[in-house]
Every structure is written in C-alpha cells, then in structure tokens.
Structure 1
Amino acid sequence: MSLVPPFTAETAHAKVKKAQDLWNAQDPHAVVKAYTPDCIWRNRATFFSGTEAIVDFLTKKWEKEKSYRLRKELFAFNDDRIAVQFWYEYQDAHDGMKWKRCYGLEDWTFAADGRMRKRQMSGNDVDITEEQRWYKEGIDVNEVEISEAHW
C-alpha cells in the first residue's frame, strides 16, 4: 500500500499508525526521515524548520519525557493533509518523574513523495496518577478504550 498523497481513508489511517509507531520507538534519526529537509514545525509555542532542528527538538523531548507511550488516531484528511488526535503519557524528568498525559491535535501537510512538509501541534499536559494511566506496561496503546470525554 502506498502512503503518498492523494490519501484515501485506508492510506490516511495507515500513515497515522506508521507515524505513531515511529514516534513510540523514540529514535529522532529514524523519525526525521519522514519529513522533508525544509519541513516547517510548530510544536505548541515553538516554531522551527529543517531536519537538524527536528532531531534536536526530539532528542530534548525524549530526554525530558521518560516512559513515553503515544497513541495517534485519524481525525480527518483530504488529498495531501491529515488531521490527527493524540494522547501520550510520560514521566516528566524535569518535574520529579511525575506522570503526565498530553492531549492534542496535529495537522500535517505532505509533499508528493509522502514525506511531511509541515507539522503543527497543539497540546495540553495534565498531571495523572499511576492509577489513571492508560498505557501501562504490556498494554497495546491501540487497544485502550478512550471514552468520548477524552476525544
């Protein structure tokens, strides 16, 4: 199955899950291959572009966000764009290893070769307890029931 634009429901869903798996591996050098060399990013209030900046950003992100587990779900799509809803949990190495969950949305725009040329992310972190965690050890993030209250 080709994961280049124009997207269908099937290929857009597959593209989202491929990105989820890449990010869950937490390897900035592998993740960056999915982006064009001049890819434009907005991550919360941080703006940057280019693969070197992406690797730097992701390296710092995963130095802070330990025990990182992410789920992405397709929200909407058209020919060369995909909107994603996501939830991830992590232990904050900059805040006493407290558990947190980030809720957010991303919009992605793709080049003709299937690499992302623009990524915008909005997210909010909330403190959670061990009991509130969804993605505990041995749990498949895709199997967790996420209620409408969290969508």
Structure 2
Amino acid sequence: MADIKPPFTEEAARKKVKAAQDMWNSQDPPRIAQAYTPTSIWRNRDSFFSGTEAITKFLTAKWERERNYKLRKELFAFTDNRIAVQFWYEYQDAHDSMRWKRCYGLEDWTFDRETGKMRKRMMSGNDIVLGPDGNGEGRWFVDGVDVNEVPITEQHW
C-alpha cells in the first residue's frame, strides 16, 4: 500500500482504497499498522490515539469483538495527498450475543508524501443490527461473495 504515494490521480486513489480494504480484511493488526506512519493520528468513533503500538492494540481488540468481519471501501473524493472513503462492513458482535451488525461510515485519510503511509485517519461510523434480533437477515457480505461485487444502493439501507 505504501508504494502508492501522493500526489494522487483518481486511478491511484482507487488503488490505494482497495489496497487498504484488502489489508483490513486480512485482520492482521501488526501488518496493517505498518501502513501507517509511526506517529499516525487516529480517531475511530469516540476513540483518539496515535502510534503503531496503539493502532495494533486497537485493531486486536476490534477483531476480538467483531467476528466474521467483512469490509468494503469505496473512493468518495481525493486531493493531492488526501482521500475520503465511504465504507460498509458486517460482523458478529462478540459483546452483544453474536448479533450481526453492519457499520456504515466515512473516513478522512491524509498521507505522508515521502513514504506513502497514512499519517492521519479520521473515522465516523454508525452500526445497525441486521435482521430480527440480529440473526443476520439481509446481510450483504455472506460467505463466498466478493465484497466488491455486492450492489450497494440507498434501497438497501
């Protein structure tokens, strides 16, 4: 992912977004943390932190809670060294009786020009429960489905 560096073209920004999507779907916190600068600043909902160790710790706890996680990211907008992303992911919440949930949100990314690593990540997201009592009815990212092929329209919200 770091080999795609600013200034971004539309094609490069789209590749950066999909590379991030694939990396996050690996659910490998130490590997993912390497895509960020050592002093990267994060806001994830109501959590604020920075640095490789904090990112790794956050992601480890995230996937202890969010089981069967599948994510899709799409380019929303870009400039020279910034990218805005729209995302959707589904998971079973280990802290809520394994109910299926979907998170919708936006991310604002700023990149280091020299390394191509992300130096700032700001995330806002909202969860909804899927199906009666969280049984997963209406899931998009079922087993065997390519997350990039699922049609996402306002009708599905």
Counterpart for residue 118 of structure 1: 120
| Aligned pairs for 1:30-45 within 5 A | 30-45=31-46
Counterpart amino acid of residue 102 in structure 1 = C
Counterpart for residue 141 of structure 1: 147
Deviations 1:64-115 (A, max 9, x none): 0000000000000000000000000000000000000000000000001100
Counterpart amino acid of residue 133 in structure 1 = R
Q: Which runs of 4+ in 1 moved over 2 A?
A: 148-151
Counterpart amino acid of residue 143 in structure 2 = E
SS of the residue aligned with 2:34?
Answer: helix
| RMSD, aligned CA | 1.4
Residue 98 of structure 2 is aligned to residue 97 of structure 1: yes
Deviation at 1:150, TM superposition (A): 5.7
| Runs of 5+ consecutive residues of structure 2 not aligned to the other structure | none
SS of the residue aligned with 1:58?
Answer: helix
Deviations 1:96-138 (A, max 9, x none): 0000000000000000110000000000000002221000000
SS of the residue aligned with 1:119?
Answer: strand
| Aligned pairs for 1:1-151 within 5 A | 2-112=3-113, 113-129=115-131, 130-149=136-155
Q: TM-score, normalised by structure 2?
A: 0.93
Identity rate, percent: 68
Deviations 1:32-64 (A, max 9, x none): 110000000000010000000000000000000
| Runs of 5+ consecutive residues of structure 1 not aligned to the other structure | none
Q: TM-score, normalised by structure 1?
A: 0.97
Deviation at 1:149, TM superposition (A): 4.4
SS of the residue aligned with 1:131?
Answer: coil
Q: Distance in 1 between matches of 2:40 and 2:60?
A: 17
Q: Distance in 2 between matches of 1:101 and 1:146?
A: 13
Q: Distance in 2 between matches of 1:81 and 1:45?
A: 22
